[in-house]
Amino acid sequence: MSKVISSNLGYPRIGEKREWKKALEQFWAGKITKDEFLKQVEEFRLNHLQKQVDIGIDLIPVGDFSLYDHVLDTAVMFGLVPKRFEYSGGKVPVETYFDIARGTKGAVAAEMTKWFNTNYHYIVPELDNAVPTLVENRPLQFYKEAKEKLNIKGKPVILGPVTFVKLSKGYSKKDFKAVVEQFVPLYTTILRELQEEGVEWVQIDEPILSTSISKEEIELVKEVYQKLNEGATKVNILLQTYFESVEHFEDVLTLPVQGIGLDLVYDHGQNLAALKKHGFPQDKVLAAGIIDGRNIWRTNLADTLSALHEISKIVSKDRIIVQPSSSLLHVPVTVKNEEKLDEVLKGALSFADEKLYEAVVLAKGLHEGVESIQNEIKVATKAIQALNESSVRNNIDVQDAIQSLDTYQTEREAEFGVRQAIQADTFQLPLLPTTTIGSFPQTTEVRSQRLKWRKGEITGAEYETFINAEIKKWIGLQEEIGLDVFVHGEFERTDMVEFFGEKLAGFQFTKFGWVQSYGSRCVKPPLIYGDVSYDEPLTVKETVYAQSLTDKPVKGMLTGPITILNWSFVRDDISRYDVANQIALALRQEVVGLEKNGIRMIQVDEPALREGLPLKRDYWDSYLNAAVYAFKLATTPVQNETQIHTHMCYSDFEDIIDAIKALDADVISIETSRSHGELIYAFEENTYDKGIGLGVYDIHSPRIPKLEELTKNIERALQVLDLKLFWINPDCGLKTRGLEETVGALKVMVEAAAKVRESQLVNKE
């Protein structure tokens, strides 16, 4: 290579204005034909490629575009269709592809789970002893398409065999090696056909290399890549890792591949340190992932170019590829359409298109010298400086508070046992108290009123009257259902993070800043761009109004600091933990405000706590300690009488049980019904000695559960949990459900609680 090459690892699928999502949903709804649909997505695919050409990227990924998910793409390429779906071999029809992802009347959808530590979810392949066959060479097809239609010599992207099998289910761990080996000939065929077509570089993604894999697994990786290299000697393999530092660095360097891609942003500095320590083989190319592929801030070109110069002392310039740290799937498409955004903020942003431009500029700078990109450097430096100097990043009060965190009390006044007795006295709740998780159905009516208010079609006062009427209606319904602890229903919130972001200083919202979460579902994370401060009460008005209508305790409802952090794009000029603590300090004021206004139970939800766990265990403790600290910073200033609740909507928390205990919440509610009581086993090993409610029914289905199911669930839980500490609640919030099914299900739940309560009391006598 004579010049420094710029490259990309993957481009967002969704389109600047989510055109892709709309096409998918229209096809699913039968509003467009299959041909129309396929024609549309082809246009998107080619348009995304052309954009990258226009930006000036040298090595453009092909085959990364997907109709749903790239892991599912890989599975169907190997003819892996779960048995419950009709399939008789050959290329998997697009209808079957979507059936696997979304389920049919007769067959449940394949499981979906988080893609490493991102908020993207992939479809889990089910191997189940199926013999994989190559039913279509997908990368080849897309390579040819790009070449024929746009004259691009693309870089096919494939999910590597070791990561693919690792992410799949339906085989026993001891067969891992044998299963991976089954795929090797198929990958070899793919590579050989690509080679015949004249493909120069193939990107094989093995993010698993950046997790804590074992020595045996790395030996297997060696064996696999040895075979792949021998099978197709003329095509260059770029082995791509991302999201963390490579675990067995020296082993990976010696793999028989022609290029290695490293994440130099999310590696905790370890990849660069390892490069410095071990050097880099003379016969390989280094794909340097130096532009943040997961956050949305403009790259500091001056600093990054210096870092690249540093690297060029280890790897000669002509063997460096400049690229983002990971696929750009995790960032929105372009800043260009954000017309209403604050100019200073907008200037400091960089989404996918802008990041690719940065890669082009940096490759040029490295090749031709810093003078050649002087203008671009100036623009970037100025924009970043403007944001750093703006008042929103210089809130002295907030910064002082963060400096003096040690002056804040972060323990409750008394320990749990003492509080428990006081609270029992205060609330006089029955045994097995019943409650819900917070939200009640967000009907079309609720949504349309909010939209009208946002558009200025109704006044703030009219909107408030409407919200109050909803609250009142649901206080009445909760009385009728017979619950013990009420909630106000969260009708004023679209989203549990957005609502708080809109009221706290330091947040902004984009218009088109969407990223794919799973399938056609996209999320638009808030931008935490400045110091977070508390300017006005967040939830007091609605909660106090609800409490004024009933004698039953109404739980205040807040979203926790770690969840707000993990579901936002966060500024990177200060540590994430400082940002979490800023949010926690704001919530702390709200907690105090609620208490002052007579709210004696306050729930602080942390559904995203677990998903924020770092990829490598080495970093777990620091994350969990910070999470626990932020939660306690937000929740501890209350009196012993005040009961702090928290909620998490997953049950696989064996790994983090100590952190959960350390939150010192008086009551926690968690999901269990979907995992069929797996959690209960966890409690057989670990005791939990504070208030706890295991979700007794699954809110993800409209079905009204049967009384016996619920009594059975409760009784099962009571075998391992203390009767006096047990609460009865659904799995999660009810905002996606309808009114009738919600009331129906809750009535059954209350009845089940009463039944078990009675039998327990009889047992006692």
DSSP conformation letters of 138-174? HHHHHHHHHHHHH----EEEEE-HHHHHHH-BSS-GG
Q: How far apart are CA 711 and CA 717, in angstroms?
A: 10
Asked whether position 40 contacts ligand GLN by CB under 6 A, the answer is no
Q: What six digits make up the tokens of 488? A: 């106000």
CB of 438 to ligand GLN, least distance (A): 3
Identify the burial level of 502 via C-beta atoms within 10 angstroms of its C-beta, where 0-12 means exposed, 13-18 middle and 19 or more buried: middle
Number of residues counted as binding Zn ion (CB under 5 A): 3
The footprint of ligand GLN on residues 436-455 (CB under 6 A) is 437-439
CB of 330 to ligand GLN, least distance (A): 21
Asked whether position 647 contacts ligand GLN by CB under 6 A, the answer is yes
Report whether 350 contacts 32 (CB < 8 A).
no
Asked whether position 746 contacts ligand GLN by CB under 6 A, the answer is no
CB of 731 to Zn ion, least distance (A): 7
For ligand GLN, give the closer residue by CB, 412 or 647.
647
Asked whether position 670 contacts Zn ion by CB under 5 A, the answer is no
Asked whether position 649 contacts ligand GLN by CB under 6 A, the answer is yes
Asked whether position 733 contacts ligand GLN by CB under 6 A, the answer is yes
Q: Per DSSP, what are the bridge partners of residue 515?
A: 523
Asked whether position 649 contacts Zn ion by CB under 5 A, the answer is yes
Helix (H, G, I), strand (E, B) or coil at 321: strand
Asked whether position 732 contacts ligand GLN by CB under 6 A, the answer is yes
For Zn ion, give the closer residue by CB, 261 or 607.
607
For ligand GLN, give the closer residue by CB, 609 or 638.
609
Asked whether position 591 contacts ligand GLN by CB under 6 A, the answer is no
Among all residues, whose Cβ is closest to ligand GLN?
733
Q: Which stretch binds Zn ion (CB under 5 A): 171-179, 386-394, 646-654, 708-716?
A: 646-654
- Count of other CB atoms within 10 angstroms of residue 71: 23
Report whether 564 contacts 534 (CB < 8 A).
no
Report whether 508 contacts 321 (CB < 8 A).
no
Q: How far apart are CA 68 and CA 72, in angstroms?
A: 8
E strand map for 406-549: 486-487, 505-508, 515-518, 521-523, 527-533
Report whether 182 contacts 196 (CB < 8 A).
no
Q: Which stretch binds ligand GLN (CB under 6 A): 22-30, 221-229, 403-411, 727-735?
A: 727-735
Among all residues, whose Cβ is closest to Zn ion?
649
The footprint of ligand GLN on residues 281-310 (CB under 6 A) is none
Q: What six digits make up the tokens of 97? A: 């592809």
Q: How far apart are CA 746 and CA 738, in angstroms?
A: 12
Nearest 5°: the CA angle 296, 301, 302 is 140
CB of 736 to ligand GLN, least distance (A): 9
Instruction: Residue 392: name the closest of 537, 561, 510, 505 by CA.
Output: 505
For ligand GLN, give the closer residue by CB, 496 or 515.
496
CB of 453 to ligand GLN, least distance (A): 20
Q: Which does 735 bind (CB under 5 to 8 A by kind): Zn ion, ligand GLN, none?
A: ligand GLN
Q: Which stretch binds ligand GLN (CB under 6 A): 118-126, 570-578, 731-739, 742-750?
A: 731-739
What residue type is assigned to position 479 of the chain? E
Instruction: Residue 398: name the closest of 529, 506, 507 by CA.
Output: 506
Q: What is the CA radius of gyration of the chain?
A: 27
Q: How far apart are CA 142 and CA 64, in angstroms?
A: 9
**Residue 157: alpha-carbon gap to chain centroid:** 23
Report whether 126 contacts 81 (CB < 8 A).
no
What residue type is assigned to position 109 of the chain? A
Beta strands at 155-159 and 121-123: parallel, antiparallel or unpaired: unpaired
Q: Which does 749 bind (CB under 5 to 8 A by kind): ligand GLN, Zn ion, none?
A: none
Q: Residues 391-430: x/- map of binding to ligand GLN (CB under 6 A)?
A: ----------------------------------------
Instruction: Confirm whether 700 is a catalytic residue.
Output: yes
Q: Residues 494-523: x/- map of binding to ligand GLN (CB under 6 A)?
A: --x---------------------------
Q: How far apart are CA 99 and CA 274, in angstroms?
A: 45
Q: Which does 438 bind (CB under 5 to 8 A by kind): ligand GLN, Zn ion, none?
A: ligand GLN
Instruction: Determine which one of 70, 121, 278, 700 is catalytic.
Output: 700
Beta strands at 527-533 and 569-570: parallel, antiparallel or unpaired: parallel
| Helix (H), strand (E) at residue 274 | helix 270-278
Q: Residues 585-624: x/- map of binding to Zn ion (CB under 5 A)?
A: ----------------------x-----------------
CB of 510 to ligand GLN, least distance (A): 22
What residue type is assigned to position 525 of the chain? P
The footprint of Zn ion on residues 724-753 (CB under 5 A) is 732
Q: Which residues bind Zn ion (CB under 5 A)?
A: 607, 649, 732
Residues that bind ligand GLN (CB under 6 A): 437-439, 490, 496, 557, 605, 607, 647, 649, 732-733, 735
Catalytic residues: 700
